[in-house]
């Protein structure tokens, strides 16, 4: 009699950045893994990450110091248990990356090289290839995943999640780029789905994110009933090249000594914050925006000339190449820079093990909101978050950790008690589908009609409106006007079937724009990356997280 080998559980991983690749690699020993990416394998935000990855790897640093820096940047909304997991497990996860083939930069003698970035008390930022850290990590992990038995579906768009009658996610609906139309949708079933699909930088007219970042995973999770958190918190990187494409100029450049100057050549950050150019990102981004307003919208100047052309070429080869491509010589003259949308702290609400509020659905990386970043991400914590919580999600899938139900699943509205660990920061207020909440509903009767010219939707118009009304500066009047426009666009889009992948992406972007604008309007304070010019101070009344949920059981 032949003994039958039990079938291995099936796992679908959506996204091929650092988080998705780590999940696919680590889970392949116990699961039949299908890795789905809507572009080529490796095309993600990870690939473009310059600043590096932070971890307390050195004798003059400590996990406690890394935790403290992360909490300060998060402006009171970090989940302490998530931050502790991030910082404590970070060093071992770095060693995992090295074992997987990532070649971090080293100093003569073989020690890991390290740099300093804004809001870090210690030089703890590791780089690879100078300013090509993300690309180096991506290449190594792509090589590693190809050695596994994981099935890889490239150029495949995840249209929606498949949810069974019990409310459990049991697979995904996908569309091949070759098929283009929704008619080409097929279903891939799974025992669990891990979203690692990244953020939504394409919401904004100016963004450092690649074209694939259209928020598809967050939107699909919302439609499947998953709760989202902190969607109003979008981080704007202070310095991108003021040229088409907004090539990111790493914060590490300022960490090495570059300074910001106005059009008159004078430094302006010295009078804004004690740390000047090394102030938290939100502070620097707003200061640049204010300076640009003072000089008629002209970009500010990043002056790295004191560092010398030879050093800049060696330390920042990718930025140097981008400057040359745009006719700039940043070793000899300052370069024009502007803020740009960079990283989304909000996303699919998860516990400390990557589990969402919907059974069978996990989320890791920028698509997720673990609470680790709070209201503002500390520089170079994003790659670390991806790898730490990817490993944690796999540990749960393999039955090694995370016993018990997902924590802080909302149990009542509008206020929910602290989670099981007593983390007082994780109080939440719900934003539901009530008609007066400003959130998308299943109906479109909140719109004023689609007869006017401004009802004609385009992605470019959405991106410009998000930049103008839901960008670095926000206020009630512009947010309200933006919500009304989004509603008109929703009516127009609902009347037109989404027959291409681009149209499906647009549907997701419009949904997320409405969610972010509603949450930003609700938060009548300034905190972290969220700045309300009509409420410029931080308020204790808003020391809570906001939950966006499609079908909230609102009290009568």
State the catalytic residues: 281
Q: What's the CA gap between 545 and 408, in Å, rounded?
A: 11
Distance of alpha carbon 22 from alpha carbon 364, whole angstroms: 10
Please list the residues that pair with 344 across neighbouring strands. 234
Distance separating alpha carbons of residues 367 and 547, to the nearest angstrom = 15
- Rounded Cα–Cα distance for residues 116 and 363 (Å): 30
Q: 80-99 and 63-73 helices cross at what angle (nearest 10)?
A: 120
Cα–Cα distance measured from residue 183 to residue 186, given in angstroms and rounded to the nearest whole number = 9
DSSP states along 458-479: -HHHHHHHHHHHSSSSB-HHHH
Rounded CA-CA distance 101/212 in Å is 26
Residue that has been written with the tokens 């299943």 in this structure: 442
Give the integer Cα–Cα distance in Å for 282 and 530: 8
Long-range contacts of the stretch 171-175 (C-beta < 8 A, 24+): 171/12, 172/12, 172/14, 172/36, 172/220, 174/36, 175/501, 175/504
């Amino acid at each position: 009699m032949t003994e039958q080998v039990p079938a291995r559980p099936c796992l679908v991983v959506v996204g091929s950045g650092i988080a998705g690749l780590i999940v696919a690699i680590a889970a392949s020993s116990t699961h039949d893994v299908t890795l789905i990416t809507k572009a080529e394998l490796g095309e993600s935000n990870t690939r473009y990450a310059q600043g590096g990855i932070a971890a307390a790897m050195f004798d003059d640093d400590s996990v406690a110091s890394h935790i403290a820096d992360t909490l300060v940047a998060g402006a009171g909304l970090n989940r302490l248990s998530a931050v502790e997991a991030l910082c404590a497990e970070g060093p071992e996860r770095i060693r995992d990356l090295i074992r997987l083939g990532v070649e971090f930069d080293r100093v003569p003698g073989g020690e890991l090289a390290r740099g300093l970035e804004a809001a870090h008390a210690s030089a703890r930022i590791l780089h690879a290839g100078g300013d090509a850290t993300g690309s180096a990590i991506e290449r190594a992990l792509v090589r590693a995943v190809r050695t596994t038995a994981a099935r890889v579906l490239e150029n495949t768009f995840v249209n929606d999640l498949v949810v069974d009658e019990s409310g459990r996610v049991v697979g995904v609906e996908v569309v091949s780029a070759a098929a283009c139309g929704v008619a080409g949708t097929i279903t891939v079933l799974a025992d669990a789905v891990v979203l690692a699909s990244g953020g939504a930088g394409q919401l904004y007219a100016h963004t450092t994110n690649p074209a694939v970042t259209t928020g598809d995973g967050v939107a699909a999770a919302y439609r499947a009933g998953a709760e989202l958190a902190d969607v109003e918190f979008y981080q704007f990187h202070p310095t991108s090249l003021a040229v088409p494409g907004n090539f990111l100029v790493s914060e590490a450049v300022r960490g090495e000594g570059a300074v910001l100057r106005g059009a008159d050549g004078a430094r302006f950050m010295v009078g804004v914050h004690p740390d000047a150019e090394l102030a938290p990102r939100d502070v620097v981004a707003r200061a640049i925006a204010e300076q640009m307003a003072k000089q008629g919208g002209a970009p500010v100047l990043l002056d790295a000339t004191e560092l010398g052309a030879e050093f800049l070429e060696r330390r920042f080869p990718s930025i140097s190449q981008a400057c040359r491509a745009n006719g700039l010589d940043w070793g000899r003259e300052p370069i024009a820079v502007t803020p740009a949308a960079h990283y989304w702290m909000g996303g699919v609400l998860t516990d400390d093990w990557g589990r969402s509020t919907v059974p069978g659905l996990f989320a890791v990386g920028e698509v997720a909101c673990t609470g680790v970043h709070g209201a503002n991400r500390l520089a170079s914590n994003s790659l670390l978050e991806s790898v730490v919580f990817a490993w944690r999600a796999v540990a749960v899938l393999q039955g090694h950790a995370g016993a018990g139900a997902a924590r802080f699943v909302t149990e009542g509205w509008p206020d929910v008690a602290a989670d099981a660990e007593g983390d007082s920061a994780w109080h939440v207020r719900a934003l539901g589908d009530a008609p007066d909440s400003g959130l998308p509903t299943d109906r479109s009767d909140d719109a004023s009609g689609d007869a006017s010219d401004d009802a004609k939707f385009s992605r470019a118009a959405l991106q410009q409106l998000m930049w103008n009304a839901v960008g670095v500066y926000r206020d009630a009047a512009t947010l309200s006007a933006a919500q009304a426009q989004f509603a008109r666009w929703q009516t127009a889009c609902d009347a037109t079937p989404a027959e291409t992948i681009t149209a499906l992406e647009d549907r997701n972007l419009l949904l997320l724009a409405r969610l972010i604008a509603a949450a930003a309007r609700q938060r009548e304070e300034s905190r972290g990356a969220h700045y309300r010019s009509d409420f410029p101070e931080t308020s204790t009344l808003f020391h809570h997280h906001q939950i966006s949920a499609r079908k909230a059981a609102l009290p009568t």
